[in-house]
Structure 1
Amino acid sequence: MNWQVELLQSFLLASSALFSIVNPMGGALIFAQVTGDRTHAERILLARRVGTYSALVMLISLWMGAYVLAFFGITLPALRIAGGLVVAVSGWRLLTAPEHMDEVKQAQAGHAMNADEVAFFPLTLPLTTGPGTISVAIALGANRPSEPGAFIGFVVGSSLAAIAIAAVVWFAYSSADWITRLLGEPRIRIIARLAAFILLCVGVQITLNGVLDALRAAGLGAALR
């Protein structure tokens, strides 16, 4: 049952963190605005491609990002501390000024809307899965357990979370007009702030795990038990 518990915990942790930083509902607002001159069929196709590309970006960041950083000699505790701080700062910024973050995304997305291939850039990067999402995914991947059974549960749970968030992006962007009419911008802002608070808590937890790992590596593990 150990790997099953780890799978559930990893899925809940990764999905809450990724949902908070990706913010599909807020992204749907921007998607509806920057693709307003396209037909409904074109927007459905773009939404499907953005969902697929978003899944790839998150999965690659989850499982390759930590190894790339390790190639440069960055230890796992240092990566967890730095990644957790990045996640916490991202959550704090989203919590205190989500409107500003959405304005930045919209400005970045608007510059290239006349390009032939807009599904990956700018609709996936940086509109949906920008540097903040990549940082969060790398930090989550660096938080993987070392025990074989728990590791399997972590891999499956985190991967399913990334795919689930990408599916939510696909649905939200495909239904962007309906969602914006149903919820309205004020309610979407409230959802974004609640998600940002969860992201802040996740960042603090990842940082705490990194600090504890560093203390154990320094020979203080017995005192922490």
Structure 2
Amino acid sequence: MITEIISDNIGFFIYTLTSIFVVVSPISGVVTFISLTSKMTRGEKNEIAKKSVTLACAIALFFAVTGSIILNLFSINVDSLRVAGGLLLFSIAFDMMHAKVSRESITDEEISESQERTDIWVFPIGLPLLTGPGTISTVIVLMESTGAIEQKIIILVSIILTFVVCLYVFLFSRRIHKFIGYNGMLVFTRLMGLLLAALAVDLTSTGIINIFNLMN
């Protein structure tokens, strides 16, 4: 019995960590991060990375913890959020599979306008590049999908681990970009887009089926 519980929790941890990591997709944001910090020294770039990742992680944790309260406040069913979030994620995934920066995250105009600003760690890096509507809807749906306390803790740990990885990716962004190369970044972005599309379809189909069953 204990072995089954441990096995189930390990499987759940892998699922949640993979889901959150794919949605945040820190590697795909490397090019944008480098563009926004190109005129900065290494120290300034690292400071921006630490601040933006900390903010993004705090936002994700906040919505994970308060998600049920927000849904109840607006009388939104979690399955409706699954469908809406799934459609949003599929839109992001479609852009990623075409190696584009999703307009849900940040537009070309916002990148250009942010070049001279000092608070880019808040907008657009922290929000919405790292923690946008897609990430927020995903963590809320994950938290609402289980009633077990240990699995909710696993989700929170997965969020923190994802942003720890994200921090190191941004700290070593220039080296990663130099090592992988532009073509490597495109291949990785397309791969993440494919995985994200699969997650989006799963969320949408599950939401539709649950809504249909609720009506009958």
TM bucket (normalised to shorter chain) is: 0.7 to 0.9
Counterpart of 1:94 in structure 2 is 96
Deviation of 1:88 (Å) = 3.0
> Which of the residues 31, 46, 63 maps onto 2:65?
63
Match of 1:185 in 2: 182
> How do 1:38-57 residues align onto structure 2 when only pairs under 5 Å count?
38-57=40-59
The 2-side partners of 1:33 and 1:216 are apart by: 47
SS at match of 2:100: helix
Partners in 2 of 1:105 and 1:175 — Cα distance? Answer: 24
Contact 1:47–1:173 (CA under 8 A) maintained in structure 2: yes
Whether the 8 Å contact between 2:87 and 2:200 is mirrored in structure 1 is yes
Partner Cα separation in structure 1 for residue 138 and residue 31 of structure 2? 22
Equivalent residue, structure 2, for 1:23: 25
Q: Deviations over 1:156-179 (max 9, x none)?
A: 221122111111211111001100
Q: Deviation at 1:203?
A: 1.8
Residue 201 of structure 2 is aligned to residue 204 of structure 1: yes
2:167 partner amino acid: W
Identity of aligned residues (%): 22
- Where structure 2 has 5 or more consecutive residues not aligned to the other structure, the ranges are none
Deviation at 1:108, TM superposition (A): 1.9
- Determine the structure 1 residue equivalent to 2:137: 135
Contact 1:6 1:154 in 2 (8 A): no
Distance 2:215 2:7 in 1: 30
Deviation at 1:193, TM superposition (A): 1.3
Alpha-carbon RMSD: 2.4
Structure 2 equivalent of residue 223 of structure 1: none
What is the number of residues matched between the two proteins? 213
Gaps of 5+ in 1: 220-225
Instruction: Read off the aligned partner of 2:84 and give its amino acid letter.
Output: A
Q: TM-score, normalised by structure 1?
A: 0.82
Give the Å deviation of 1:192. Answer: 1.3
By how many angstroms is 1:104 displaced?
4.3
Q: Helix, strand or coil: the match of 2:70?
A: helix
Q: Are the counterparts in 2 of residues 9 and 157 from structure 1 also a CA contact under 8 Å?
A: no
Query: Separation in 1 of the partners of 2:34 and 2:26?
Result: 12
| Separation (CA, whole Å) in 2 of partners of 1:100 and 1:175 | 20
